């Protein structure tokens, strides 16, 4: 195999109660990339469509993660990368992770799979760090492993693959506003009350239990965030209205996707997902803010070859 | 049925990462109680052996929880309670919970089981509140439900029964020192760093996952407490030595049981439990502090009729 095309999915990190540790994978939105073996050593980004991103590998998220991999693998050939970017950078649904994951996944395939998923996560984290100034895996892990993931620890890196209930759908609204990552980080408190922390870890525990038990009701009760959302939701116009409408229309939960501005809802079944999407559309149509809405089943496979 | 005898087990709350929400049930140590229907209405404590506790129902933990139950059930008869107390009050292995649970469990049986386990937990929490000045369920829930439990919320009360891996044993050392509950509460910070909170909820999530997957290695990695233990362990002499020896001898984890002074270790299999008990005994035998050591399989049944 000398060349392949891959689909690198968007992802939702945090999932309300699981700030910095939980995430899940989407399947109707993602980037495509074509990777080719070349005689010329190194990483060469030859095409970028969709968004304006740097071509120099060391300044490009997909380039940095690919460089981290080949620095370890030391192949006596190189790779050309074409990036067809569908996930808008800064949308809060793992745009940089999709780039970071795509190149390392594809190169690993072309090398004959010398690395396992955890090792690929490690390489991809180097790319993610270029975009977010810190190495974290809460978007990368679900993109690589699929389904729901829990980042047990980053040093050493340990990813847990959680079960995904059948018929679980996500609805994402991406209001086309810019929230600077630095701002969405800076707004967070350094310290939180022990009381809120207890609520949060009880919810993380019950969410994991709910996934194992296929218990939608418990999942719904676990999807709350008393720690981060009160701060970050202020940066997202009409967040409360979107959530109220989503919950009224049958959503199990609704929260900020990653650091926003995207908002995710989870629900049981495609029909409810369609209804929620319509209800949210009604909210945002009354504003002057452009937006995109996506409906997606939870993607249990993760990144894949097309 | 006019009379019955029950075994009300000791329990371990918090379980390292799960402060205020996690707990598990023991089976080799617990109180016994005899409850009899009587024509005389109300709750009448007729015998207390083992420790010096008040006979007035409104001042006795078992009495208060029983009163809460009969206030709701309004039977046209009463109950006599005999308490054979084996769990020392203030030991940190759920002494007051065992009392609170015992009376309501037995009375419920004698009434023909009108209440479910969650309702019994609610009544027992009234008794627990007399002892600890706040209504919490992290010892009561495992005593009633057995195995590992997670208190998802107290208002409304929701208890999750977690799976218990086979062959999981606990070793408990109870150093016979007094730690005032007020002191062990007062020493805790009101605020904690977001960083530590994230570590804690990642561990709660992975602990729940480990229980579902019967994964002893992951269970071991999850049994850490970066929030509470650094404070409370200072109140327990030789805590660090006990833990070091327990871990060296094969314990999966070792932490403070409830608010202490008891220390629990979890391990795989009875033989390892015996070795850990011996190793801990060696540590404490060199001190002048009297102590008790218990070895117990995790009790998946909870409170029972003898």
Residue A174 is predicted with a pLDDT of 98
CB contact under 8 A, A191 and B188: no
CB contact under 8 A, B209 and A212: yes
The pLDDT mean for chain B works out to: 96
Residue A257 is predicted with a pLDDT of 97
Domain with CATH 3.30.230.10 in chain B: 3-162
A185 touches chain B (CB under 8 A): no
Question: Would you place residue B60 in the very low, low, confident or very high pLDDT band (cuts 50, 70, 90)?
Answer: very high
Residue in A21, A197, A212 closest to B192 by CB: A197
The token pair at B159 is: 């208890």
CB contact under 8 A, B204 and A207: no
Give the number of A-B residue pairs with CB atoms closer than 8 Å: 121
Question: Would you place residue B87 in the very low, low, confident or very high pLDDT band (cuts 50, 70, 90)?
Answer: very high
Q: How do residues A203-243 score in pLDDT, each as one tens digit?
A: 999 999 999 999 999 999 999 999 999 999 999 999 999 99
Mutate to test the interface with B, among A118, A206, A220 (most CBs of B within 10 A): A206
CB contact under 8 A, A205 and B21: yes
The residues in B 140-169 lying below 8 A from A, measured between CB atoms, are: 150-153, 158, 160, 162
Q: Is it the case that residue A183 has pLDDT exceeding 90?
A: no
Mutate to test the interface with A, among B18, B195, B205 (most CBs of A within 10 A): B205
Query: Catalytic positions of A, please?
Result: 128, 181
Handedness of CA B238, B244, B250, B251 (dihedral sign): positive
A218 touches chain B (CB under 8 A): yes
Q: Average pLDDT in the B17-41 region?
A: 97
A189 touches chain B (CB under 8 A): yes
CB contact under 8 A, A204 and B209: no
The residues in A 2-21 lying below 8 A from B, measured between CB atoms, are: 17-21
Topology (CATH level 3) of domain A3-161? Ribosomal Protein S5; domain 2 (3.30.230)
Q: Average pLDDT in the B75-102 region?
A: 96
d(CA A19, CA A14): 4
Mutate to test the interface with B, among A197, A219, A227 (most CBs of B within 10 A): A197
Q: Which one of the listed residues B128, B164, B272, B300 is annotated catalytic?
A: B128
- Asked if A188 contacts A228 with a C-beta cutoff of 8 angstroms, the reply is yes
Question: Is the pTM value of this prediction over 0.90?
Answer: yes
Q: Is it the case that residue B54 has pLDDT exceeding 90?
A: yes
Domain B3-162: give its CATH architecture: 2-Layer Sandwich (3.30)
Residue B15 is predicted with a pLDDT of 98
B33 touches chain A (CB under 8 A): no
**ipTM confidence score:** 0.95
Residue B180 is predicted with a pLDDT of 76
Domain with CATH 3.30.70.890 in chain A: 168-297
d(CA B172, CA A244): 48
Q: Which long-range contacts (CB under 8 A, 24 or more apart) does B249-252 make?
A: B249/B275, B249/B276, B249/B278, B249/B279, B250/B275, B250/B276, B251/B171, B251/B276, B252/B216, B252/B219, B252/B220, B252/B223
Nearest CA in chain A to B193: A191
Residue in A153, A197, A203 closest to B197 by CB: A197
Residues of B in contact with A222 (CB under 8 A): 152
Question: Would you place residue B1 in the very low, low, confident or very high pLDDT band (cuts 50, 70, 90)?
Answer: confident
Distance from CA of A152 to the nearest CA of B (A): 6
What does residue B192 show for φ and ψ, rounded to 5 degrees?
-130, 160
CB contact under 8 A, A197 and B202: no
Distance from CA of A213 to the nearest CA of B (A): 9
CATH 3.40.430.10 fits A168-297, yes or no: no
Residue A184 is predicted with a pLDDT of 82
Residue in A190, A191, A209 closest to B160 by CB: A209
CB contact under 8 A, A209 and B151: no
A222 touches chain B (CB under 8 A): yes
Nearest CA in chain A to B151: A202
Question: Would you place residue B178 in the very low, low, confident or very high pLDDT band (cuts 50, 70, 90)?
Answer: confident
Q: How do residues B189-223 score in pLDDT, each as one tens digit?
A: 999 999 999 999 999 999 999 999 999 999 999 99
What 3-state DSSP class applies to A4?
Answer: strand
Residue in B151, B200, B208 closest to A197 by CB: B200
% of chain B beyond a pLDDT of 90 = 93
Domain with CATH 3.30.230.10 in chain A: 3-161
d(CA B214, CA B210): 6
Residue B61 is predicted with a pLDDT of 96
The pLDDT mean for chain A works out to: 96
The token pair at A247 is: 């919950």
Nearest residue to B21 (alpha-carbon basis) of B235, B255, B208, B264: B208
Q: How do residues A90-148 score in pLDDT, each as one tens digit?
A: 999 999 999 999 999 999 999 999 999 999 999 999 999 888 777 789 999 999 999 99
Handedness of CA A121, A122, A128, A134 (dihedral sign): positive
CB contact under 8 A, A202 and B151: yes
Handedness of CA B49, B50, B55, B61 (dihedral sign): negative
d(CA A299, CA A282): 27
Q: Is it the case that residue A305 has pLDDT exceeding 80?
A: yes
Residues of A in contact with B209 (CB under 8 A): 150, 160, 162, 208, 212
Nearest residue to B284 (alpha-carbon basis) of B253, B299, B263, B305: B263
Side-chain-side CA neighbours of residue B77 (13 Å):
11
């Amino acid at each position: 195999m000398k060349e392949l095309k891959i689909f690198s999915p968007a992802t939702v990190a945090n999932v309300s109660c699981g700030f910095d540790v939980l995430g899940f994978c989407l399947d109707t939105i993602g980037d495509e990339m074509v990777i080719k073996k070349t005689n010329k050593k190194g990483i060469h980004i030859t095409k970028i469509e969709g968004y304006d991103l740097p071509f120099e590998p060391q300044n490009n998220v997909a380039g940095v993660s690919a460089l981290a991999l080949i620095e370890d693998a030391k192949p006596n050939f190189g790779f050309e990368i074409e990036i067809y970017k569908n996930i808008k950078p800064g949308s809060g649904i793992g745009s940089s992770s999709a780039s970071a994951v795509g190149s390392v996944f594809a190169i690993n395939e072309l090398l004959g799979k010398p690395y396992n998923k955890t090792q690929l996560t490690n390489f991809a984290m180097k790319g993610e760090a270029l975009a977010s100034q810190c190495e974290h895996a809460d978007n990368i892990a679900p993109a690589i492993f699929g389904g729901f993931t829990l980042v047990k620890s980053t040093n050493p890196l340990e990813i847990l693959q959680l079960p995904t209930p059948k018929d679980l759908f996500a609805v994402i609204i991406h209001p086309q506003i810019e929230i600077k990552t630095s701002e969405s980080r800076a707004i967070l408190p350094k310290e939180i009350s022990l009381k809120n922390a207890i609520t949060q870890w009880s919810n993380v525990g019950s969410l994991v239990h709910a996934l194992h038990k296929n218990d939608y009701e418990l999942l719904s009760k676990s999807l709350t965030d008393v720690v981060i959302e009160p701060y970050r939701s202020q940066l997202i116009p009409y967040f409360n209205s979107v959530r109220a409408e989503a919950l009224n229309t049958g959503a199990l939960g609704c929260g900020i996707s990653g650091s926003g501005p995207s908002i995710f809802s989870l629900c049981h079944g495609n029909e409810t997902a369609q209804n929620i999407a319509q209800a949210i559309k009604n909210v945002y149509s009354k504003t002057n803010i452009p937006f995109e809405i996506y409906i997606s089943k939870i993607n249990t496979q993760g990144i894949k070859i097309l």
